Structure 1
């Protein structure tokens, strides 16, 4: 009788012990989840070769999963429009969008900007791609040519080949074309525009002599200088554009306010205070941080979009 009672008691105690241990663990898992979403799908737009870029973005999955408590999936799109459409169809929850695609995503699908990138300004006077000590929320595009090129002013771009990005690229297409047109040089009519994928490819096309000039962000030469050590010596800037608002981190329509706030908080922590996170942002887009943003910051982009439509 005693043995049977002892055995039953042991089983009961063991069961109770298991329940006591298992329950808090389950509750802890639930408390780790900071959003109501089951997962977070993120997509980047290409600023350099997609395969290289995807490898650089992968660490963000673990970093954000730790902050949000849900699986995070990162991918790189083929172009800007792909991300916008994916957000519109809810296949992508968060997109790293340049200003022009953001404006389209906002107008067409109700996407909302939550953060804007910050970079240390480029010291253009030095001309070596070095940075200033001040974080800024804007950048410029530049028209890049070879150092020994006969192109001395914008009028010399007539009948020349120019490497450009997708037509929705602010630095790789819109701002340079509009600013050049304001100065009397309509490159759409008078030059041959060659589309390349990635600003690194734009720089290399000039360096290798495949094109006479390239529209790239300031200073895109930094992303190729590791392999092309003389890129600054062999190229020069013909013209800089007006200031362009920095890139965005944008959420698709339908993400709740609570989730949006949690994602915003997580990205601020990862991009500004995590060593690995800061490295990812710098390696992928040359970002040095992120800051809260609002839609009105991109009104200048809307103006340039209209100006581009009027160029014939």
Structure 2
């Protein structure tokens, strides 16, 4: 009996030591699993007014940190900046001074030597998706649908100026615009890496007239769609290429801020429609020291999950984003084709 008791005591001691060792190892493993990132730098492009973007995205800091923590990353600080231009955001990513960028496909493709695409945004689909410009011009608002879409179109909007109305009348009567018609108008163009505001309009002009935006005689650069819409309303420009739901986004500003007496749907018309464009991207810098394979995976999962929360939806609504899906570089081959056309036109 004594020998058996000793054996029991020994076994108990061994078991107790094993439990303590296991518990200690568990604490060490949990600690090791949480990796610390001192700072995550995010850049946004100025497709909306910069102050609006800064205000709307402020909650993103806490929301993203919380999601990344669930993925095993403790991010101490999230720094958010709005680039002065699309190119500024692309250059920041290429140089590694930015880690993450909310950038259009055109900006991604132009800077893809230093930038990797992670996610494509999804947006609410629209109740209008016509290749014919005239079909958009029924005087009714373009409304969102419940269906999510990973692509959109660039629309060339003619404003209330005399020339804008002249071109719209011709389109709505079933006639085709000539190159002379288009070249006689004053165009407002976005940054050279803007998909809807520059790149796809060039592809459309090349397909239909063997021209690009660089061939247009009268153009001005607009620093944001907001300032472009203001110029269109005032008659400073006749045509403004924009993303397909831009008029919906600026419908209130059209009458309140731009002081127009009629609605944006009454005073503007579509005179051209691009091919489908893949939505904006969340891309990362190839030179960023924190962008390991594991962290990129954690970042992708975090943004996808964040976009499904009520708070997250409010943040990403500034860009009309409603969700995110994993991106493929090949999705943006249309951007590459368009940029090839642009390069050839400048030779």
Greater CA drift, 73-82 or 146-155: 146-155
Name which of structure 1's ranges 120-129 and 234-243 shifts more when overlaid on structure 2.
120-129
Decide whether aligned partners of structure 1 residues 158 and 40 sit closer, same or farther in structure 2, where only a CA change above 3 A counts.
Answer: same
User: Relative to 1, partners in 2 of residues 1:61 and 1:121: Cα closer, same or farther, differing over 3 Å?
Assistant: same
- Structure 2 segments unaligned to the other structure (5+ residues): 1-23, 69-73, 129-135, 171-176, 256-262
Q: Which runs of 4+ in 1 moved over 6 A?
A: none
**Contact kept in structure 2, 1:146 and 1:212, CA below 8 Å:** yes
Distance 1:261 1:208 in 2: 47
Q: Which has the larger radius of gyration?
A: 2
Is residue 133 of structure 1 aligned with residue 169 of structure 2?
no
| Cα deviations by residue, 1:187-216 (Å, 9 ceiling, x for unpaired) | 432431110111122222211111011111
Is it true that 1:82 corresponds to 2:98 in the alignment? no
CA contact 1:164–1:196 (8 Å) conserved in 2: yes
Q: How does 1:1-312 map to 2 (within 5 A)?
A: 35-68=35-68, 69-70=74-75, 71-107=77-113, 109=114, 111-124=115-128, 125=136, 127-146=140-159, 149-151=165-167, 152=170, 153=177, 155=179, 156-184=181-209, 186=211, 187-229=213-255, 230-253=263-286, 254=289, 255-271=291-307, 273-282=308-317, 284-311=318-345
Asked if structure 1 preserves the Cα contact closer than 8 Å seen for 2:110 and 2:193, the reply is: no
Alignment check: 8 A CA contact 1:203 1:216 kept? no
Q: Cα deviation per residue 1:267-293 (whole Å; 9 max; x = unaligned)? A: 11111x2111111111x2111111111
Quote the Cα distance in structure 2 between the aligned partners of 1:218 and 1:197. Answer: 18
| Structure 1 residue ranges without an equivalent (≥5) | 1-23
CA-CA distance at 1:182 after TM superposition: 1.8
Aligned length: 282
Distance across 2 between alignment mates of 1:57 and 1:119:
17
Cα separation, 2, equivalents of 1:33 and 1:90: 26
Q: Which residue of 2 aligns with 1:11?
A: none
3-state SS, counterpart of residue 302 of structure 2: helix
TM-score (norm 2): 0.76
Superposed displacement of residue 91, structure 1: 1.4
Alpha carbons 2:206, 2:341 under 8 Å: kept: no
The secondary structure found in structure 2 opposite 1:260 is: helix
Instruction: Give the root-mean-square deviation of aligned CA atoms.
Output: 2.3
Rounded Cα–Cα distance in structure 2 between residues aligned with 1:161 and 1:32: 60
Displacement of 1:104 = 2.4
Offset at residue 130 of structure 1 (A): 0.7
Q: 1:98 to 1:35 in 2, by over 3 A?
A: farther
Query: 1:116-136, CA deviations, whole angstroms, 9 ceiling, x for partnerless residues?
Result: 000112222565121122111
